[in-house]
Amino acid sequence: MPNGSLEARLHPNSASTNQPMRYLSLVQRISIAIDVAMALDYLHNHATDAIIHRDLKPSNVLLDDNMIAHVSDFGLARFLVRHDTMLSQSMTSTNGVKGSIGYIPPEYGMGGQASVQGDLYSYGILVLEMFTGVRPTDERFIDGSSIHNHVAMSVSDQVMDIIDPKMFSVNEVGDMFAHENVYDCLVLVLQCAIMCSKESPRERIAIKEVINQLNSARAKLLR
């Protein structure tokens, strides 16, 4: 894709590219998060058979000419087929945990089957990374902490201390700290990502609710 991957945009210093990279603005990050959520909604709810991606991460999100995000790399994907409204895997899982470290839902490590809830977990971690600028594999989390816990403990009253400040330094946005709705927008987005990345699959919110909340956050920002 012309504008590379989300990985390269979030972490340009580590990206293998000779092209100068501009950091993503707050508005761009919300729009990309919505694009990816809509892609998951299609895969899970509108394809002929539901498709579980199983490897959602920034390097598998590509950006086109208009900075619209596209989910890529379906090498680990699985189909789910419907039988009398029940979902079951149409392909036998191979041995071992599949996915990328930091984005794999905890239930997969305990033998759980691929599920839409698993993709939601990976999506939640991806969104937390997008808005904090911190990878889930960062060394600060080696003591048993996690990016989920890191954000959950700070989102209520210290949100400006944990977000990626680089999203406010691009020309398209200017001084977003002066915008009265920035704080509420960030809290809404991060709370949504926290709900997606809950440890228990049953506690994760549905992708349609994610889309609604993120659209509300973007509308709040653009008022």
Domain of 189, CATH number, reads: 1.10.510.10
Structure tokens at 165: 């400040």
For residue 133, CA distances in Å to 25, 58, 136 come to 12, 11, 10
> For the chain, what is the mean pLDDT?
86
- Looking at residue 157, its amino acid is D
Say if 164 falls within a structural domain. Answer: yes
Read off the pLDDT of residues 160-184 as tens digits, 9 standing for 90 and up: 899 998 888 644 444 555 566 888 8
DSSP annotation of 5 reads B
Give pLDDT, residue 112: 84
Q: Which domain holds residue 202?
A: 6-12+22-221
Does the pLDDT value for residue 18 go beyond 80? Answer: no
Q: Could you list the active site residues?
A: 55
How would you list the strands of the sheet with 50-52, edge to edge?
A: 50-52, 78-83, 86-89
Residue 1 lies in a domain: no
Position 211 in a domain: yes
Q: How far apart are CA 54 and CA 114, in angstroms?
A: 7
Q: Give, for 126, the enclosing helix (H) or strand (E).
A: helix 116-132
Q: For 89-147, how does the pLDDT look when each residue is reduced to its tens digit (9 = 90+)?
A: 444 344 456 789 999 999 998 888 899 999 999 999 999 999 999 999 999 898 878 99
Residue 153, pLDDT score = 93
Three-state DSSP state, 71: strand
Does a structural domain hold residue 118? yes
| DSSP letter for each residue of 17-35 | -SS--PPPPHHHHHHHHHH
Structurally, the chain folds into a number of domains equal to 1
- pLDDT tens digits, residue range 32-49? 999 999 999 999 999 888
Q: Which of 2-11, 16-25, 74-83, 87-96 has the lowest mean pLDDT?
A: 87-96
Question: How many H helices and E strands in the chain?
Answer: 7, 5
Residue 74 in domain: yes
In a domain, 17, yes or no: no
Does residue 128 fall inside a structural domain?
A: yes
